């Protein structure tokens, strides 16, 4: 699954290697405890992201965060949160295998995404993430740089999203 | 496409990310068994369905996931404001004065 | 007005079609009528016609805020069928179908009723089971409906994508052969002409502002843009605007009004022999006599009176059509519009008396009012004339939302109906 889906001069679309991926629900007042458990100050505003080494976090809702880390760290993270649970109620769900990450990189990446994403992507700052739609599939869209995005899509919707990206990439390459 | 302001995300986003969830501020009766059939009917089925200003629930289902309320004109489909769930319906005269 | 016949057509053809007279006069309101009908769509005009013809009540006005047939009558996708699940609905819609059968002759006006068949596609096991249940139920009620295999469905409608590899493969279909389409405008015009001929006043561009009730609570008449008009009986048949008008009489309705959109393609040569509906992919399609593909789907999600609706729904509908009929992939769409449909909690109509003496209501037809036109009109006239519901519309009361005797076609149809 690690082979590039498609690439041409303007865009490279590739499936990313697996990561430890976790969904955290916690009261915003308890954010400090979660930050300590994860080892990274979690962002407080919806959309914002934070990263340190291979740890990354994005705030997706008023009490919801998406956490990324190296696969090897998953057990340590869940253990740290399990310890924090004694004093700080929260829910931490491992979703590493639920989703597949597709990276879209290149000067025309934003143009390609606009094929299926209803957001005004020009307004999306690098370093932020949002839950949104790609065609009819719910995805989390992460903007890493001006010309770099990641889409996290549920495994069962992956063929649909991947196929659409593939068609759109070929259309862009052909100048349509 | 409608552009809807999510009060939790504090961002104005496309309609596709949202699901409509019916008229707002309809409280479930505390003790349904004490109600007459007519009162129970009103709670279940009767809606104001106004031609004009409508307080309604929306859910940012493909976003932050939260339910919130909106005041929208049902003739022009224009949103006057959106506000967090649990807050009272805003006073329209104040909204218009503020514009 | 002229009686249409082969002879009159020939005579007028020979004189260059310059001597046709107007088909009905644009009436101004009198001070008082026996019955006022609010809303000059097919339902309202038809009710006026049957009041005059079958009940001898001719001192009737039909009052319309816009132009005749300009509401949902002129905005629907003209599908006619009666394959509803529950006994009450099947009988009601089949009554309408019986009246459709002879309507052109009865009105002396060609409404172009075409029994081309309505085919409902099953895309999954649930659809198959649900449609077969409908078919069995319909047969018990004497309503025509039968099951087609995928191959039979493909033979009946050749543009259909019958590939087993389709995203939503066709696993069979339910076909009602008596069902089809009619020319929607002609239905309003035909009823208007026939009603006017019997003395009914059709008053256009005259919004009803409110319904006035007397000291004893009974109906006294309606306030309109052209002044107060007195009547002891008022029947509201105003589709999406019903709840607003009923509110003025102090009756709160279990209705919500949603935009329902439709669109047509550029006209092409005859390619599509029937009506196809798919509840699973949310779309239905037929071809008009002008050659346009007529396409519709479910309502927009939010309450609105805008007569527009949003583009996401159109995109979703067209995507569904392209899925089922890849042959239409490159077709261009010409125009789209919306009508405001009044939807009840159980997706069945309300047709009968109200708590107010002298006030009658015909509403809640949701997305499926056109097919019911002659039946609804006939039964509304009966109810108004006799001050009690006909046995066919007796179950469709306002009271059912208090008693709980719902006719839950919402669960039966799941979507468009």
State the smallest CA–CA distance between residue C149 and chain B in angstroms. 36
Q: State the pLDDT at residue A118.
A: 94
Give contacts of B77 with chain C, Cβ < 8 Å.
Answer: 302, 304, 306, 308
Stretch(es) of chain A classified as CATH 3.30.1360.120: 4-16+98-173
pLDDT recorded at residue A45 = 96
Intervals of CATH 3.30.70.1520 along chain A:
20-94
Measuring CA to CA, which residue among C77, C269, C281 is closest to residue C180?
C77
* C115–chain B nearest CA distance, Å: 37
Please report all neighbours of A, defined by 3+ CB atom pairs within 8 A: B
Q: How does DSSP classify residue C3? A: P
pLDDT in tens, B54-99: 999 999 999 999 999 999 999 999 999 999 999 999 988 777 666 5
What average pLDDT is seen over chain C?
A: 95
Using an 8 Å Cβ cutoff, are C287 and C272 in contact? yes
A55 Cβ under 8 Å from any chain B Cβ: no
Q: Which candidate from B13, B17, B66 shows the least CB-CB separation from A61?
A: B66
Q: What is the tens place of the pLDDT at every residue in C58-116? A: 999 999 999 999 999 999 999 999 999 999 999 999 999 999 999 999 999 999 999 99
Helices (H) and strands (E) in chain B, counts: 2, 6
The residue of chain A with its CA nearest to that of B4 is: A119
Q: Which residues of chain A have pLDDT under 70?
A: 1-7
pLDDT tops 50 at residue C416: no
Q: Which fold has domain A4-16+98-173?
A: Gyrase A; domain 2 (3.30.1360)
Q: Which CATH number fits domain A20-94: 2.60.40.10, 3.90.1170.50, 3.30.70.1520, 1.20.1580.10?
A: 3.30.70.1520
Under an 8 A CB cutoff, do A118 and B66 touch? no
Chain C: which residues have CB within 8 Å of chain B? Answer: 241, 243-244, 252-257, 301-306, 308, 310-312, 345, 401-403
From the candidates C239, C253, C305, C350, which should be mutated to test the interface with B, based on the most B CB atoms within 10 A?
C305
Question: Which residues of chain A neighbour B10 with C-beta distances below 8 Å?
Answer: 46
Least Cα distance to C250 among C356, C402, C400 occurs for C356
Task: Give residue-wise pLDDT tens across range C140-187.
Answer: 999 999 999 999 999 999 999 999 999 899 999 999 999 999 999 999
Distance (Å, rounded) from C-alpha B83 to C-alpha B86?
9
C-alpha A26/C-alpha A43 separation (Å) is 13
Q: What is the mean pLDDT of residues B8-27?
A: 96
Neighbours of chain C (3+ CB pairs under 8 A): B
* Beta-carbon separation of B15 and C310 below 8 A: yes
Buried b (16+ CB within 10 A) or exposed e, A138-160: bbbbbbbeebbbbbbbeeebbeb
Residue C413's pLDDT band (boundaries 50, 70, 90)? low
Chain B residues close to C398, C-beta within 8 Å? none
Nearest Cα of chain A lies from the Cα of B29 at a distance, in angstroms, of: 29
């Amino acid at each position: 699954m690690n082979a590039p889906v498609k690439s041409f001069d303007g865009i490279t679309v590739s499936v990313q290697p697996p990561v430890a991926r976790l969904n955290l629900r916690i009261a915003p007042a308890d954010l400090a405890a979660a930050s300590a458990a994860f080892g990274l100050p979690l962002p407080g505003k919806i959309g914002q992201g934070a990263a340190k080494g291979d740890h990354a976090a994005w705030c997706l809702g008023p009490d919801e965060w998406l956490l990324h880390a190296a696969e090897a760290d998953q057990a340590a993270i869940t253990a740290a949160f399990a310890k924090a649970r004694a004093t700080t109620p929260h829910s931490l769900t491992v979703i590493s295998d639920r989703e597949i990450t597709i990276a879209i990189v290149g000067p025309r990446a934003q143009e390609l995404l606009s094929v299926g994403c209803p957001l005004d992507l020009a307004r999306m700052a690098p370093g932020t993430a949002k839950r949104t739609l790609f065609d009819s599939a719910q995805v989390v869209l992460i903007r890493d740089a001006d010309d770099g995005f990641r889409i996290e899509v549920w495994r069962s919707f992956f063929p649909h999203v991947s196929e659409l990206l593939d068609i759109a990439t070929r259309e862009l390459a052909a100048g349509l | 496409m409608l552009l809807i302001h999510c009060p939790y995300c504090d961002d104005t986003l496309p309609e596709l990310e949202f699901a409509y969830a019916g008229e707002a501020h309809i409280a479930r009766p505390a003790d349904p068994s004490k109600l007459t059939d007519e009162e129970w009917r009103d709670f279940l089925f009767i809606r104001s369905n106004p031609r004009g200003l409508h307080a309604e629930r929306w859910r940012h289902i493909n976003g932050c996931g939260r339910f919130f309320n909106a005041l929208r004109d049902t003739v022009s489909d224009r949103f006057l404001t959106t506000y967090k769930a649990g807050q009272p319906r805003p006073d329209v005269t104040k909204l218009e004065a503020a514009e | 007005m002229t009686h249409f016949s082969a002879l009159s057509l020939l005579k007028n053809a020979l004189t260059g079609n310059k001597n046709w007279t107007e088909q009905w006069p644009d009436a101004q309101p009198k001070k008082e009528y026996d019955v006022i009908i609010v809303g000059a769509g097919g339902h309202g005009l038809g009710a006026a016609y049957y009041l005059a013809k079958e009940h001898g009540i001719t001192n009737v006005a039909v009052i319309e805020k816009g132009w005749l047939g300009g509401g949902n009558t002129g905005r629907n996708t003209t599908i006619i069928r009666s394959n509803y699940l529950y006994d009450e609905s099947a009988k009601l819609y089949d009554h309408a179908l019986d009246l459709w059968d002879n309507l052109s002759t009865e009105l002396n006006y060609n409404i172009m009723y075409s029994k081309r068949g309505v085919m409902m596609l099953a895309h999954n096991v649930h659809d198959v089971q649900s449609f077969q249940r409908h078919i069995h139920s319909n047969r018990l009620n004497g309503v025509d409906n039968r099951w087609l295999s995928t191959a039979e469905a493909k033979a009946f409608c050749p543009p259909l994508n019958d590939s087993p590899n389709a995203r939503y493969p066709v696993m069979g279909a339910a076909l009602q052969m008596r069902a089809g389409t009619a020319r929607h405008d002609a239905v309003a015009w035909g009823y208007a002409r026939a009603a006017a001929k019997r003395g009914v006043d059709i008053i256009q561009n005259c919004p009803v502002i409110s319904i006035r009730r007397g000291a004893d609570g009974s109906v006294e008449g309606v306030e309109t843009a052209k002044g107060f008009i007195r009547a002891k009986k008022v029947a509201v048949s105003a589709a999406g605007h019903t709840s607003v008008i009923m509110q003025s009489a102090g009756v709160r309705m279990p209705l919500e009004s949603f935009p329902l959109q439709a669109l047509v393609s550029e006209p092409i040569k005859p390619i599509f022999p029937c009506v196809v509906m798919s509840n699973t992919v949310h779309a239905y399609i037929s071809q008009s006599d002008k050659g346009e593909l007529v396409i519709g789907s479910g309502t927009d999600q939010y309450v609105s009176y805008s007569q527009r609706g949003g583009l996401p729904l159109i995109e979703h509908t067209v995507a569904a059509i392209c899925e089922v009929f890849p042959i239409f992939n490159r077709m261009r769409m010409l125009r789209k519009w919306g009508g405001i449909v009044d939807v009840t909690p159980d997706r069945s109509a309300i047709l009968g008396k109200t708590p107010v003496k002298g006030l009658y209501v015909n509403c809640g037809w949701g997305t499926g009012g056109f097919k019911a036109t002659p039946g609804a009109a006939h039964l509304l006239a009966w109810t108004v004339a006799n001050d009690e519901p006909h046995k066919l519309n007796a179950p469709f009361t306002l009271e059912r939302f208090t008693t709980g005797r719902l006719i839950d076609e919402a669960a039966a149809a799941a979507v468009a109906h």
